[in-house]
Protein backbone atom coordinates (compact mmCIF):
# COMPACT_ATOMS: atom_id res chain seq x y z
CA UNK A 1 0.00 0.00 0.00
CA UNK A 2 2.89 2.32 0.78
CA UNK A 3 4.43 1.66 -2.63
CA UNK A 4 1.18 2.70 -4.31
CA UNK A 5 1.16 5.94 -2.32
CA UNK A 6 4.74 6.66 -3.37
CA UNK A 7 3.95 5.98 -7.02
CA UNK A 8 0.90 8.24 -6.75
CA UNK A 9 3.01 11.05 -5.28
CA UNK A 10 5.56 10.72 -8.07
CA UNK A 11 2.82 10.80 -10.71
CA UNK A 12 1.22 13.90 -9.14
CA UNK A 13 4.59 15.68 -9.09
CA UNK A 14 5.19 14.74 -12.73
CA UNK A 15 1.70 15.94 -13.72
CA UNK A 16 2.18 19.29 -11.99
CA UNK A 17 5.59 19.63 -13.63
CA UNK A 18 4.10 18.90 -17.06
CA UNK A 19 1.34 21.48 -16.48
CA UNK A 20 3.91 24.13 -15.49
CA UNK A 21 6.02 23.21 -18.49
CA UNK A 22 2.97 23.61 -20.74
CA UNK A 23 2.24 27.05 -19.28
CA UNK A 24 5.82 28.18 -19.72
CA UNK A 25 6.01 26.77 -23.26
CA UNK A 26 2.78 28.53 -24.22
CA UNK A 27 4.07 31.79 -22.85
CA UNK A 28 7.40 31.38 -24.64
CA UNK A 29 5.66 30.61 -27.94
CA UNK A 30 3.39 33.61 -27.52
CA UNK A 31 6.38 35.82 -26.84
CA UNK A 32 8.35 34.36 -29.77
CA UNK A 33 5.45 34.86 -32.18
CA UNK A 34 4.97 38.44 -31.06
CA UNK A 35 8.64 39.26 -31.83
CA UNK A 36 8.71 37.79 -35.37
CA UNK A 37 8.39 40.49 -38.03
CA UNK A 38 6.80 38.33 -40.74
CA UNK A 39 3.86 36.96 -38.72
CA UNK A 40 0.62 38.89 -38.39
CA UNK A 41 -2.20 37.37 -36.37
CA UNK A 42 -5.50 39.18 -36.60
CA UNK A 43 -8.73 38.32 -34.85
CA UNK A 44 -11.88 40.11 -36.03
CA UNK A 45 -9.74 42.58 -37.95
CA UNK A 46 -7.56 43.55 -34.98
CA UNK A 47 -3.84 42.90 -34.92
CA UNK A 48 -2.99 40.68 -32.01
CA UNK A 49 0.67 41.56 -31.44
CA UNK A 50 1.70 44.91 -32.84
CA UNK A 51 0.61 47.61 -30.45
CA UNK A 52 -3.03 46.57 -30.40
CA UNK A 53 -5.21 46.89 -27.38
CA UNK A 54 -6.81 43.46 -27.91
CA UNK A 55 -6.28 42.53 -24.25
CA UNK A 56 -6.49 46.09 -22.99
CA UNK A 57 -3.78 48.59 -22.26
CA UNK A 58 -2.97 47.33 -18.77
CA UNK A 59 -2.49 43.62 -19.56
CA UNK A 60 0.69 42.30 -21.12
CA UNK A 61 -0.17 39.75 -23.85
CA UNK A 62 2.43 37.30 -22.56
CA UNK A 63 0.97 37.45 -19.08
CA UNK A 64 -2.54 37.03 -20.46
CA UNK A 65 -1.49 33.97 -22.48
CA UNK A 66 0.20 32.37 -19.49
CA UNK A 67 -2.82 33.11 -17.31
CA UNK A 68 -5.23 31.62 -19.84
CA UNK A 69 -3.14 28.47 -20.26
CA UNK A 70 -2.80 28.17 -16.49
CA UNK A 71 -6.56 28.44 -15.94
CA UNK A 72 -7.21 25.78 -18.57
CA UNK A 73 -4.52 23.45 -17.19
CA UNK A 74 -5.46 23.85 -13.52
CA UNK A 75 -9.26 24.19 -13.59
CA UNK A 76 -10.84 23.08 -16.84
CA UNK A 77 -8.73 19.97 -17.52
CA UNK A 78 -9.23 18.34 -14.07
CA UNK A 79 -12.98 19.05 -14.20
CA UNK A 80 -13.30 17.54 -17.67
CA UNK A 81 -11.37 14.45 -16.61
CA UNK A 82 -13.36 14.10 -13.40
CA UNK A 83 -16.73 14.40 -15.08
CA UNK A 84 -15.90 12.38 -18.19
CA UNK A 85 -13.99 9.52 -16.56
CA UNK A 86 -14.64 9.51 -12.83
CA UNK A 87 -18.40 9.96 -12.78
CA UNK A 88 -19.22 7.14 -15.24
CA UNK A 89 -16.87 4.79 -13.37
CA UNK A 90 -18.59 5.67 -10.09
CA UNK A 91 -22.04 5.04 -11.57
CA UNK A 92 -20.96 1.71 -13.10
CA UNK A 93 -19.40 0.65 -9.79
CA UNK A 94 -22.55 1.51 -7.84
CA UNK A 95 -24.79 -0.34 -10.30
CA UNK A 96 -22.59 -3.45 -10.28
CA UNK A 97 -22.44 -3.33 -6.48
CA UNK A 98 -26.23 -3.13 -6.23
CA UNK A 99 -26.64 -6.07 -8.64
CA UNK A 100 -24.10 -8.13 -6.69
CA UNK A 101 -25.79 -7.29 -3.38
CA UNK A 102 -29.18 -8.30 -4.79
CA UNK A 103 -27.82 -11.58 -6.16
CA UNK A 104 -26.13 -12.47 -2.88
CA UNK A 105 -29.23 -11.55 -0.87
CA UNK A 106 -31.48 -13.64 -3.08
CA UNK A 107 -29.04 -16.55 -2.96
CA UNK A 108 -28.87 -16.47 0.82
CA UNK A 109 -32.66 -16.36 1.12
CA UNK A 110 -33.11 -19.28 -1.24
CA UNK A 111 -30.35 -21.38 0.31
CA UNK A 112 -31.18 -20.75 3.97
CA UNK A 113 -33.59 -23.74 4.39
CA UNK A 114 -31.09 -26.04 2.72
CA UNK A 115 -28.29 -24.78 4.95
CA UNK A 116 -30.42 -25.30 8.08
CA UNK A 117 -31.29 -28.85 7.01
CA UNK A 118 -27.63 -29.64 6.34
CA UNK A 119 -26.64 -28.29 9.76
CA UNK A 120 -29.34 -30.39 11.44
CA UNK A 121 -28.26 -33.54 9.56
CA UNK A 122 -24.63 -32.93 10.47
CA UNK A 123 -25.50 -32.54 14.15
CA UNK A 124 -27.59 -35.72 14.14
CA UNK A 125 -25.30 -37.96 12.11
CA UNK A 126 -21.89 -37.02 13.41
CA UNK A 127 -20.16 -39.48 15.64
CA UNK A 128 -19.99 -38.34 19.23
CA UNK A 129 -16.52 -37.51 20.34
CA UNK A 130 -15.12 -39.70 23.07
CA UNK A 131 -13.48 -37.66 25.73
CA UNK A 132 -10.12 -39.01 26.75
CA UNK A 133 -9.93 -39.93 30.41
CA UNK A 134 -7.39 -37.96 32.39
CA UNK A 135 -4.20 -39.93 33.06
CA UNK A 136 -4.55 -42.02 36.20
CA UNK A 137 -2.20 -41.48 39.08
CA UNK A 138 -0.29 -44.41 40.37
CA UNK A 139 -1.78 -45.65 43.64
CA UNK A 140 1.59 -45.90 45.41
CA UNK A 141 2.66 -42.35 44.81
CA UNK A 142 2.32 -40.12 47.80
CA UNK A 143 2.75 -36.41 47.86
CA UNK A 144 5.77 -35.20 49.68
CA UNK A 145 5.52 -32.32 52.08
CA UNK A 146 8.48 -30.23 53.03
Give the whole-angstrom CA distance, residue 78 versus residue 16: 12
Mean pLDDT value of segment 45-63: 61
**Which of 64, 60, 76, 66 lies closest to 25, judged by CA?**
66
DSSP 3-state assignment of 79? helix
pLDDT higher at 100 or 12: 100
pLDDT band at 145 (very low <50, low <70, confident <90, very high): low
Amino acid sequence: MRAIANVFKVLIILAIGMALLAVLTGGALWHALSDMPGIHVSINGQELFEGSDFFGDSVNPTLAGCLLIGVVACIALPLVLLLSVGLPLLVIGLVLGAVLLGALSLGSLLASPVLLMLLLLWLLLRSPKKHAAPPARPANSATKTD
